[in-house]
Amino acid sequence: MVLATGHAGTLRDRGRSTAVAAAGGTMKALIVDPGVRSLGGHHYNAVQRLQRELAALGVAAPCLGSAYAERDVIDALACHPTFRRSVYGRSYTAGEFDASVAQTADDLAGGLHRHGMADLLILPCGDQVLAAALAQRLARAWLARPVVLLWLLYAPHHLKAADDPTTTDLRTEYRKAFATLKSRTDDGHRLRIYCETTPLADFYRDLLGLEVGVRPSPGLVAPHRAAHTKTDRAPVVACIGFANRPKGYRLLPHAIAHVLAERPDVRFAIHGIVKGSDAEGDQPVFDHLREFGERVTVRQDVLSADDYLAWLAKADLLLLPYDPEIYRSRGLGVFTDARNLALPIVAPAGCAFAEPAFEEGWGVAMRTYDGRGLSEAMLIALGRLPTLRAEAGRAAARSDDDLGALLRRAADDAGASDAPGVRGFLHRLHRRMAI
């Protein structure tokens, strides 16, 4: 494997970043995520982590993100504003799938025209629309032979359980989209699909007839790189993220009031963004939380990567009161970060992402999904913090978040995908050209 400099679309550290050259040509990687729009949040963090790990391999990886990406995001992630539709913006009505695929394919064509076809395409938040759109583009570029690395983070309907009986038509969309994508990736030999949880991977493996692995989605925190220190100060219970309705922020006022009455020593650090979420009408929840005074700190702004890590680092317990019906099989990026930071959690019983914490002894389950259930689980966790911390530390040491190794294998596969002879020459020429 030869290293070469000067690849277009490099990150800010252009002087250090190089691009892998394979089979006589500079390797090109491209991250595709229509959800990348603003600083912070899972989509931003995932791209940032992917770029960091790829840079360590000598591979630069610009990003195709939302057409409405903010300037800070464009600059920080080498992000090209591309997609007009959000991955969460579907109405799931008749005919809407075809329209979404057509528009997404058109947007993708524009992004690829700018960057050229990559040897390694990474989709950290894929779905049936993005898969079908990518298959269309590959069908029009017969010389393209990229390895496609794709995570499926949620069920066919992002606000319903995977086995919800009302999503039959959406499952058909998935089968058709991935059957076509399989045919455009050497019968799936250049397609790598992952889910964050075993239940979701099992579901998609059966649905798609393709191999689906289980791996955490790219999170901001690399394992064993962040120390979660404790002091003798009052315990801090934290919450963080976009305050979408399935995330259970509405349970906090009742639960926090009960815990404050029982444990005068506890402090809360609640972060939640309602602007741009599906819960903009829930601002009174945060107004109520502020009424608790100095024992409850509330933030609603977008956190930088450093602020995000600092918020988690000061916590002794992380609340993840996500709707167990929707998250019955789904994973969760902030859960992965909590595990890597050795941070105990509270979450509802029945959430697939939290099962490892429950089984390994560093999480406490809510017995009922309401304010009382949350407060009871918090009090149990606060009473067992030393044990939970110890088990969380052991879990962090066992972390299977080997994203760097996964990307190295994918890059090696992409570098080995060049065919010899005339076809290989044409492929190497083609990946420098717009399609």
Q: Is the pLDDT reported for residue 73 higher than 60?
A: yes
Residues 218-240 have pLDDT tens digits of 988 765 544 445 557 899 999 99
Q: How far apart are CA 39 and CA 115, in angstroms?
A: 23
Q: Is the pLDDT reported for residue 213 higher than 70?
A: yes
Q: Is the pLDDT reported for residue 431 higher than 90?
A: no
DSSP state of 269: E
Q: How far apart are CA 306 and CA 4, in angstroms?
A: 31
| HEC per residue, 227-267 | CCCCCCCCCEEEECCECCHHHCHHHHHHHHHHHHHHCCCCE
Q: Is the pLDDT reported for residue 108 higher than 80?
A: yes
Q: Is the pLDDT reported for residue 105 higher than 90?
A: yes
Residues 122-157 have pLDDT tens digits of 999 999 999 999 999 999 876 678 999 999 999 999
Tell me which amino acid residue 112 is.
L
Q: What is the pLDDT of residue 5?
A: 29
Name the residue among 140, 138, 133 with its Cα closest to residue 99: 133
Q: How far apart are CA 232 and CA 211, in angstroms?
A: 48
pLDDT-above-90 percentage for the chain: 73
Q: What is the pLDDT of residue 418?
A: 53
Residue whose token pair is 């057409």: 67
Residues 250-294 have pLDDT tens digits of 999 999 999 999 999 999 999 999 886 677 788 999 999 999 999
* The domain defined by 2-219+401-430 carries CATH number 3.50.50.60: no
Q: What is the pLDDT of residue 39?
A: 85
Q: Are 270 and 257 in contact (CB under 8 A)?
A: no
Q: What is the pLDDT of residue 222?
A: 65
Q: Label residue 104 by pLDDT band (50, 70, 90).
A: very high
Q: What is the pLDDT of residue 4?
A: 31
Q: Can you tell me the mean pLDDT for 34-38?
A: 93
Q: How far apart are CA 401 and CA 387, in angstroms?
A: 23
Q: How far apart are CA 51 and CA 87, in angstroms?
A: 21
Q: Is the pLDDT reported for residue 117 higher than 80?
A: yes
**Parts of the chain belonging to CATH 3.40.50.2000:** 2-219+401-430, 236-397
* The domain defined by 236-397 carries CATH number 3.40.50.2000: yes
Q: Can you tell me the mean pLDDT for 159-169?
A: 93
DSSP state of 384: T
**For the packed helices 198-208 and 168-183, what is the interaxial angle rounded to 10 degrees?**
70
DSSP state of 148: E
Residues 316-373 have pLDDT tens digits of 999 999 999 999 999 999 999 999 999 999 999 999 999 999 999 999 999 999 999 9
Q: Is the pLDDT reported for residue 6 higher than 80?
A: no
* Helix %, strand %, coil % of the chain (to 5): 45, 15, 40
